[in-house]
């Protein structure tokens, strides 16, 4: 048996992706085969095609960190999964394919009412937001949360989860139409840094207390300006550097304000602390089942157009999430 998969054949960006036929492999103990219906498209996938992500893979490899689909085959000790089950699966790579083979413990049941596209767009962004806001920052109800890059995948997930947790969410972005989506997801205020004085606007919204938590997948100048807005014992969460600029911070300012700068690596944390990660994932699934969390998907492409999907992500055209679909 064989299936089609996207291969990155050179570390040369999306243009190095090609659709190739691949041979299916036999299952090992505890593994499950899933027929993929949809795959989430994430910014790390784009970085991987250029060798610019912390997980560096040598070509040829298949990008993709999250998929949804149906179980087609189960080996022994596979945790009770059965052929036909609708599932979500996460992996370090390999998701841009018509089928994946994964350990049973990496599977989640598709939340009630979710489409396969929504399922594929859910786990990576939601887990990143949860690990950031709950595990790292300990966000409390009533605190102020400033979300940079609020219309992107991990940003919009943080807006939605922060609102569910009872925070006063301020969403930051560069496009009014995209920020309207963040407002619909629970942001109490939105700030367009291209048309407004960013620091003055946020300061007016948060004075005299300041911002308790900054969620930053952007980096660059916005990150440095956000640090200046933190309240006493505030927390600055470093998610990534979508701007392409890694900021530097004044240590004396952190000392004076008593704030913490926290790096966030949700995937690595899950590998080191699997029980905590499972508890967080279970809470996310409960919130999804209750209708409190649902990914916003602005773009969908067939699997063969994975390069176009990554280019669309790179141009910042995506609001929320982008997915690939398999027939």
Number of domains composing the chain = 2
Residues 49, 60 share a domain? yes
In a domain, 275, yes or no: no
Tell me the per-residue pLDDT of 145-188, one tens digit each, with 9 for 90 and over.
999 999 999 999 999 999 999 999 999 999 999 999 999 999 99
pLDDT over threshold 80, residue 224 = yes
Candidate from 53-57, 127-131, 207-211, 319-323 with smallest mean pLDDT: 53-57
- % residues pLDDT > 70 (the chain): 100
Compute the distance between CA of residue 129 and CA of residue 22 in angstroms, rounded to an integer. Answer: 34
123, HSE (Cβ side, Cα atoms, 13 Å): 30
Quick one: pLDDT at residue 78? 77
Quick one: pLDDT at residue 55? 82
The average pLDDT across 226-241 equals 97
Quick one: pLDDT at residue 327? 78
pLDDT over threshold 90, residue 54 = no
- Provide the pLDDT confidence category of residue 122 given band limits of 50, 70 and 90: very high
Compute the distance between CA of residue 69 and CA of residue 42 in angstroms, rounded to an integer. Answer: 18
Which ranges in 6-140 belong to alpha helices (H)?
43-48, 116-120, 123-130
Structural contact between residues 88 and 118, judged by C-beta atoms closer than 8 angstroms:
no
Residues 170, 184 share a domain? yes
In a domain, 272, yes or no: no
One-letter-per-residue 3-state SS of 275-314 = HHHHHHHHHHHHHHHCCCCCCCEEEEEEHHHHHHHHHHHH
In a domain, 108, yes or no: yes
Please give the residue range of the domain that contains residue 321: 2-122+295-325
β-pairing, 168-173 vs 189-192, is: parallel
Torsions phi, psi for 68 (to 5 deg): -135, 160
CA angle at 50 for the pair 36 and 299, rounded to the nearest 5°? 45
- The reported pTM is 0.94
Which residues are CB-neighbours of 20 under 8 A, at least 6 positions away?
4, 5, 6, 7
Tell me the per-residue pLDDT of 64-120, one tens digit each, with 9 for 90 and over.
999 999 999 999 877 789 999 999 999 999 999 999 999 999 999 999 999 999 999
Of the candidates 277, 320, 264, the residue with the CA atom closest to the CA atom of residue 297: 320
In a domain, 278, yes or no: no
Residues 199, 105 share a domain? no
Candidate from 13-22, 27-36, 241-250, 292-301 with smallest mean pLDDT: 241-250
Residues 176, 246 share a domain? yes
Q: How far is CA 6 from CA 9, 17, 59, 99, 155, in A?
A: 9, 6, 12, 11, 27
Here the CATH number for the domain that contains residue 36 is 3.90.180.10
């Amino acid at each position: 048996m064989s299936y089609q998969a996207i291969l990155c054949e050179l570390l040369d960006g999306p243009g190095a992706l090609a659709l190739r036929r691949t041979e299916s492999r036999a299952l090992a103990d505890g593994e499950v085969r899933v027929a993929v219906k949809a795959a989430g498209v994430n910014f790390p996938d784009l970085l991987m095609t250029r060798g610019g992500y912390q997980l560096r893979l040598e070509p040829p490899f298949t990008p993709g960190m999250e998929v949804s689909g149906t179980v087609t085959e189960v080996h022994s000790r596979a945790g009770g999964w059965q052929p036909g089950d609708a599932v979500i699966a996460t992996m370090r790579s390999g998701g841009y394919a018509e089928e994946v083979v994964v350990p049973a413990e990496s599977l989640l049941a598709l939340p009630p009412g979710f489409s396969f596209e929504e399922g594929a767009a859910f786990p990576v962004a939601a887990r990143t937001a949860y690990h950031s806001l709950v595990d790292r920052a300990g966000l409390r109800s009533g605190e102020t949360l400033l979300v940079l890059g609020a219309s992107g995948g991990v940003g919009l997930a943080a807006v939605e989860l922060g609102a569910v947790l009872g925070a006063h969410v301020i969403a930051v972005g560069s496009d009014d139409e995209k920020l309207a989506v963040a407002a619909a997801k629970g942001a109490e205020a939105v700030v367009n840094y291209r048309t407004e004085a960013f620091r003055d606007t946020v300061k007016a919204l948060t004075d005299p207390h300041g911002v308790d938590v900054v969620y930053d997948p952007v980096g660059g100048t916005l990150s440095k300006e956000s640090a200046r807005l933190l309240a006493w014992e505030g927390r600055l969460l470093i998610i990534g550097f979508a701007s392409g600029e890694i900021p530097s911070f004044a240590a004396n300012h952190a000392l004076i304000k008593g704030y913490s700068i926290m790096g966030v690596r949700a995937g690595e944390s899950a590998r080191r602390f699997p029980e905590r990660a499972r508890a967080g994932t279970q809470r996310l699934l409960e919130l999804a089942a209750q209708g409190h969390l649902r990914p916003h998907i602005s773009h969908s492409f067939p699997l063969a157009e994975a390069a176009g999907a990554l280019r669309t992500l790179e141009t910042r055209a995506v609001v929320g999430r982008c997915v690939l679909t398999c027939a």
